[in-house]
Amino acid sequence: MKNIIEINNLSKYFILHTQGGVNIPVLEAVSLAASGGECVAIVGSSGAGKSTLLKCLYANYRAQAGSVRVRHRDGWVDMARAHPREILDVRRHTMGYVSQFLRAIPRVPAIDIVMAPLLATGTEPDKARVMAQALFERLNIAPRLWHLPPATFSGGEQQRINIARAFAPQPAVLLLDEPTAALDEANRNAVVELVREALRRGALLVGIFHDHAVRSAVATRIFQLRPAGVPL
Amino acid sequence: MMTETPLLEIQNLGYRYGQRAACVDISFDLFPGEVLAVVGESGSGKTTLLRCISGQLRPDTGQVLFQTRASETVDVWAISESARRWLTRTDWGFVHQNPRDGLRADVSAGANIGERLMAIGARHYGNIREEATAWMNKVELDTARIDESPSAFSGGMQQRLQIARNLVSRPRLVFMDEPTAGLDVSVQARLLDLLRGLACDLGLAAVIVTHDLAVARLLAHRTLVMNAGRVVEAGLTDQVLDDPQHPYTQLLVSSALPA
Ligand SMILES: Nc1ncnc2c1ncn2[C@@H]1O[C@H](COP(=O)(O)OP(=O)(O)OP(=O)(O)O)[C@@H](O)[C@H]1O
Ligand SMILES: Nc1ncnc2c1ncn2[C@@H]1O[C@H](COP(=O)(O)OP(=O)(O)OP(=O)(O)O)[C@@H](O)[C@H]1O
Ligand SMILES: [Mg+2]
Ligand SMILES: [Mg+2]
């Protein structure tokens, strides 16, 4: 299969100007290529830069060097250099991201949060509602919560809203940062099923899975990250 | 989609009050449907920039180019005063920080909304009143109060009325100066939610000046950071807030409450 992402010699460090300009190297010349139908599990010690790598892929963080190319609309977009409008277009149509924490929007009900990415890509409202509800049912979100804003939900409920929102539009690339961290076994299994389904339709998943059982259930490949500055 | 021309293009804009430079060499563009936040501390030049680009304050240097409905590019400060005034009534809206600066106190709430329609040629009283009522509904104001003076409204209600007055003429670009400042937190949240929905539904482009990073996070696709009259950092809003590069932006983000 052809590659969907190609990361080449990606380097990322943080210069903390408020801390006297200290430089924190995180990623050094990281390269990774992956194609549809793969689930790449990023592993590495705490602080190795796993979340940073996903954030560079999503262009939430900037890269200092290297390229982060994503196949989008019959071409390649380098997320490290693309114009903000192009990055937003990639996020809308090609790439979903499950962050570790849901950033709840005040006053917006859970169902609207999950429908929003569907509506943004042209799905009819009635169809979008049915799709959102089906995901809620699979993820065991109680119907009494559907029309409430998630700000007051439990950690696990918020995480499942987050997962539903990212999976709903069936993007070609899904980035998952510890998607099952706050979930019980039944819900972990529901997420495993969603991941497998996405793989079957040819999506690429890149994820961080601390839970060994989940990782071995979904990963088709392990990508080992070593802390910057530590020799192989 | 990526080849669209910008709605607004600012080139090397500069403005000084006597010896004090308030805006220095500012350039950026804004595309249709895009929301841009301008953040920075008090006195950094945000309001001055907004007034220069919205036809209220003539910049000393630089250009403000705007693409009209007819797809013509006009140089906002090279056209006649009356052409500029026409733009401010039709294609543009301006939401002031203080609703009193954006509302007329001597006429009713309904007339405040209807006035913009009349300015662009609407004459039929029944239609104007109907539109005004519809817009009061959209901004969640009680339509039974259509004949009351805006001074009888609370601050948050006045701000919503000001938004209705601006949007009734279907502008394509709205300028807002601290639209939520001075309001209760709960009223702010409601107003932000309203603005987010309207910007989405109407495909509005907007430039929003705010000192509140949470407002930028919620509403803006892109964010410009101003410091001492200059744009020190610009980019995708979540990138600027989560991975700030400039020392000033890092200071701003680290001193703010979590956004
Ligand atoms: N926005 C940021 N500003 C400054 N430093 C950061 C930022 N984000 C991450 N870092 C630093 O980068 C390093 C890698 O962090 P990252 O979150 O990627 O680690 P991780 O591998 O995901 O760890 P964990 O398993 O604990 O989640 C850490 O030293 C962290 O402090
Ligand atoms: N009419 C004026 N005459 C002289 N100086 C002015 C005038 N208006 C603003 N200034 C100065 O220009 C600079 C920029 O002011 P401006 O109002 O644009 O800042 P701002 O970023 O909007 O600040 P705030 O967040 O407090 O509203 C400040 O130093 C201010 O004192
Ligand atoms: Mg992490
Ligand atoms: Mg100001």
| CATH for A17 | 3.40.50.300
- What strands, in cross-sheet order, belong to the sheet with B8-17? B20-30, B8-17, B61-67, B73-75
Pick from B249, B186, B191, B258: nearest CA to B38: B249
Higher-pLDDT residue of B182, A167? A167
Residue B247 CB burial class (10 angstroms; 0-12, 13-18, ≥19): middle
Could you tell me if residue A114 is inside a domain? yes
Is the per-residue pLDDT at A232 higher than 70?
A: no
Q: Is the Cβ pair A84, B222 closer than 8 Å?
A: yes
Average confidence (pLDDT) over B151-157? 90
Could you tell me if residue A126 is inside a domain? yes
Beta-carbon count within 10 A of B200 CB:
14
pTM, rounded to two decimals: 0.93
Q: 3-class DSSP state for residue B216?
A: helix
Give the pLDDT of residue B186: 73
Question: Predicted confidence band at B258 (pLDDT cuts at 50, 70, 90)?
Answer: low
DSSP character for A104? P
Ligand 2, pocket-test mutation among B16, B19, B20, most atoms within 8 A of CB: B20
On chain A, the residues whose CB falls within 8 A of the CB of B32 are none
- What strands, in cross-sheet order, belong to the sheet with A95-98? A95-98, A173-177, A204-208, A39-43, A221-224
Total structural domains within chain A = 1
The distance from CA B214 to its chain's CA centroid, rounded to whole angstroms, is 17
> How many Å lie between the centroid of ligand 2 and the Cα of residue B177?
13
- Domain containing A83: what range? 3-224
Vertex B47 angle, CA B43 and B53, to 5°: 140
Q: What residues are paired with B130 via a beta bridge?
A: none
Residues A6-45 pLDDT 10s = 999 999 999 999 999 999 999 999 999 999 999 999 999 9
Residue A52 and residue A27 in contact, taking contact as beta carbons nearer than 8 Å: yes
Which tokens hold the place of B171? Answer: 């502008």
**CA-CA distances (angstroms) from residue B155 to A76, A224, B114?**
49, 56, 20
Question: Predicted confidence band at B24 (pLDDT cuts at 50, 70, 90)?
Answer: very high
Could you tell me if residue A229 is inside a domain? no
Could you tell me if residue A90 is inside a domain? yes
Could you tell me if residue A102 is inside a domain? yes
Q: What residues are paired with B73 via a beta bridge?
A: B67
Q: 3-class DSSP state for residue B191?
A: helix
Pick from A188, A173, A228: nearest CA to A38: A173
| Length of chain B as a residue count | 259
> Which of A59, A62, A106 faces B189 most closely, judged by CB atoms?
A106
Put simply, whether A20 touches B (Cβ < 8 Å) is no
Higher-pLDDT residue of A98, A108? A98
Put simply, whether A22 touches B (Cβ < 8 Å) is no
Residues A80-99 pLDDT 10s = 999 999 999 999 999 999 98
Is the per-residue pLDDT at A231 higher than 70?
A: no
Residue B8 and residue B64 in contact, taking contact as beta carbons nearer than 8 Å: yes
Residue A79 and residue A8 in contact, taking contact as beta carbons nearer than 8 Å: no
Question: Predicted confidence band at B1 (pLDDT cuts at 50, 70, 90)?
Answer: very low
Is the per-residue pLDDT at B181 higher than 90?
A: no
On chain B, the residues whose CB falls within 8 A of the CB of A107 are 189-190, 193
Say what the ipTM of the complex is: 0.93
> Which of A62, A84, A103 faces B243 most closely, judged by CB atoms?
A62
Is the per-residue pLDDT at A52 higher than 50?
A: yes
Could you tell me if residue A230 is inside a domain? no
Give the pLDDT of residue B182: 74
| Length of chain A as a residue count | 232
Q: What is the dihedral of CA A75, A80, A84, A86, to 10 degrees?
A: 0
Give the pLDDT of residue B259: 56
Pick from A86, A141, A85, A82: nearest CA to A114: A141
Which tokens hold the place of B238? Answer: 């979540």
> What residue of B is the nearest CA neighbor of A84?
B236
Helices H, strands E: what count in chain B? 10, 10
Residues B199-251 pLDDT 10s = 878 888 999 999 889 889 988 999 999 999 999 999 999 999 999 999 999 99
Report which residue type is found at A19.
Q
> Which of A62, A85, A107 faces B245 most closely, judged by CB atoms?
A62
Q: B46 CB under 6 A from ligand 2?
A: yes
Average confidence (pLDDT) over A48-73? 97
> How many Å lie between the centroid of ligand 1 and the Cα of residue B250?
16
Residues A179-206 pLDDT 10s = 998 899 999 999 999 999 999 999 999 9
d(CA B25, CA B48): 13
**What average pLDDT does chain A have?**
94
Question: Predicted confidence band at B126 (pLDDT cuts at 50, 70, 90)?
Answer: confident
Could you tell me if residue A145 is inside a domain? yes
Q: Which helix (H) or strand (E) holds B113?
A: helix B109-119
| B20-30 and B8-17 beta bridge pairing | antiparallel
Give the pLDDT of residue A104: 65
Residue nearest to ligand 2 atom 5, measured at CA:
B17
Which tokens hold the place of A164? Answer: 């539903």
